[in-house]
């Protein structure tokens, strides 16, 4: 009988846990882990963290200081459980401010160093806006590795690769959500899934042009999307889907295989070209904006929690 799907997937793709929950990470033993404001909020709301959160909140200079302290403390705990990268996100509020993103990213790295975590283990997450990509370009030149998130188009991915970004996280499930809302009766199963198709296009573009940027599929709605991307460089997977894969025994075929570069990369887009291409892609434009708003919504909930703890 075939091994479970998760074990097979690990032989062809680096598996990343999309969670801040330590027990999940211990159970599934991923190589890396990713967090975002929504996941940090979930982790922060765990009852056994409340006393520590209150201590952080009261000792912080302001709410931004408290937010980053919480994210780095949770990230540091995760770093003890995974051998690879831990992704920590710059505030979504700074998605359109390159200079502020740079300041916040450097501060996060300094905090990790104070916790004894080597900066090479950290991926700074930034939204795939023009400003976020420019911040990542500067950070990469400083030796700070970046993970560009909220990615919905090949043009966003191209700009990240041209900037020398370490890793990109093209979203799968949210692309599917958009198309299902537009065409509720369409069949988007298997190879027809537009989110899967988007990641494949990005993967093939990167490998075909010799980019070193890592492709990490993210935001999955079902295990079928994951299996359709088996062989992708990395896949970041929620606890529920990790569990489903671990409990299912069936043969798994590799779907993506790196090929030798066939041609040189095209000329990088300038800002006007990037913004026009994004504007022409209604799905990418809408989902990028929506994603930033959603992350900020969860960040505001965490901010409110920390304010209450500061005053308690």
Mean pLDDT, to the nearest integer, of 58-78?
Answer: 94
Task: Report residue 98's pLDDT band, with 50, 70 and 90 as the boundaries.
Answer: very high
Catalytic site includes residue 125 = yes
Given the residues 125, 200, 207, 287, the one annotated as active site:
125
**CB environment 293-306: b (16+ within 10 A), e (fewer):** ebbbebbeebbebb
With tokens 């994951």, the residue in question is: 226
Mean pLDDT, to the nearest integer, of 183-203?
Answer: 95
- Give pLDDT, residue 1: 61
The proportion of the chain whose per-residue pLDDT surpasses 90, expressed as a percent, equals: 87
Domain residue spans in the chain? Answer: 5-311
Determine contact, residues 57/310, Cβ cutoff 8 Å. yes
Tokens read off for 43: 């982790």
Average pLDDT, whole number, for the chain? 95
Residues with Cβ < 8 Å from 84, sequence gap 6 or more?
14, 16, 31, 32, 121
- Give pLDDT, residue 161: 97
What gap in Å lies between CA 136 and CA 150, rounded to an integer? 14
Kindly compute the dihedral angle of the four CA atoms of residues 239, 9, 192, 203, in this order, to the nearest 10 degrees: 100
CATH number of 5-311: 3.20.20.70
- Give pLDDT, residue 44: 85
Mean pLDDT, to the nearest integer, of 208-224?
Answer: 96
- Give pLDDT, residue 2: 75
Residues with Cβ < 8 Å from 66, sequence gap 6 or more?
56, 57, 60, 306, 310
The proportion of the chain whose per-residue pLDDT surpasses 70, expressed as a percent, equals: 99
Residues 145-179 pLDDT 10s: 999 999 999 999 999 999 999 999 999 999 999 99
How much of the chain is helix, strand and coil, in % rounded to 5?
Answer: 55, 15, 30
pLDDT top residue among 265 and 267: 267
Tell me how many degrees the CA angle 53-54-60 measures, rounded to the nearest 5.
Answer: 90
Mean pLDDT, to the nearest integer, of 7-24?
Answer: 96
Mean pLDDT, to the nearest integer, of 109-129?
Answer: 98
């Amino acid at each position: 009988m075939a091994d479970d799907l998760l074990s097979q997937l690990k032989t062809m793709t680096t598996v990343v846990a999309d969670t801040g929950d330590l027990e999940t990470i211990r159970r599934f033993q991923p190589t890396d882990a990713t967090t975002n404001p929504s996941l940090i909020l979930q982790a922060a709301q765990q009852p056994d963290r409340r006393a520590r959160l209150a201590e952080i909140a009261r000792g912080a200079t302001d709410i931004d200081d408290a937010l980053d302290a919480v994210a780095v403390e949770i990230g540091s705990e995760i770093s003890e459980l995974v051998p690879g990268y831990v992704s920590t996100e710059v505030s979504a509020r700074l998605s359109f401010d390159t200079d502020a993103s740079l300041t916040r990213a450097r501060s996060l790295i300094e905090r990790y160093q104070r916790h004894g975590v080597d900066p090479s283990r950290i991926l700074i997450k930034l939204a795939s806006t023009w400003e976020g990509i420019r911040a990542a370009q500067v950070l990469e030149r400083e030796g700070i590795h970046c993970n560009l998130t909220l990615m919905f188009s090949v043009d966003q991915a191209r700009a990240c690769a041209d900037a020398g970004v370490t890793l990109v996280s093209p979203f799968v499930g949210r692309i599917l959500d958009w198309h299902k809302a537009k065409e509720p009766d369409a069949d988007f199963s298997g190879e027809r899934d537009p989110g899967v198709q988007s990641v494949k296009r990005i993967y093939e573009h990167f490998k075909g042009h010799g980019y070193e940027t890592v492709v990490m599929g993210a935001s999955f709605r079902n295990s079928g999307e994951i299996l359709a991307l088996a062989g992708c460089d990395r896949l970041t997977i929620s606890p529920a889907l990790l569990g489903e894969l671990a409990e299912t025994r069936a043969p798994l075929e590799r779907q993506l295989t790196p090929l030798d570069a066939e041609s040189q990369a095209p000329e990088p887009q300038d800002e006007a070209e990037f913004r026009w291409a994004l504007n022409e892609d209604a799905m990418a434009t809408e989902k990028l904006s929506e994603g930033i708003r959603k992350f900020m919504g969860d960040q505001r909930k965490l901010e409110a929690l920390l304010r209450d703890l500061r005053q308690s």
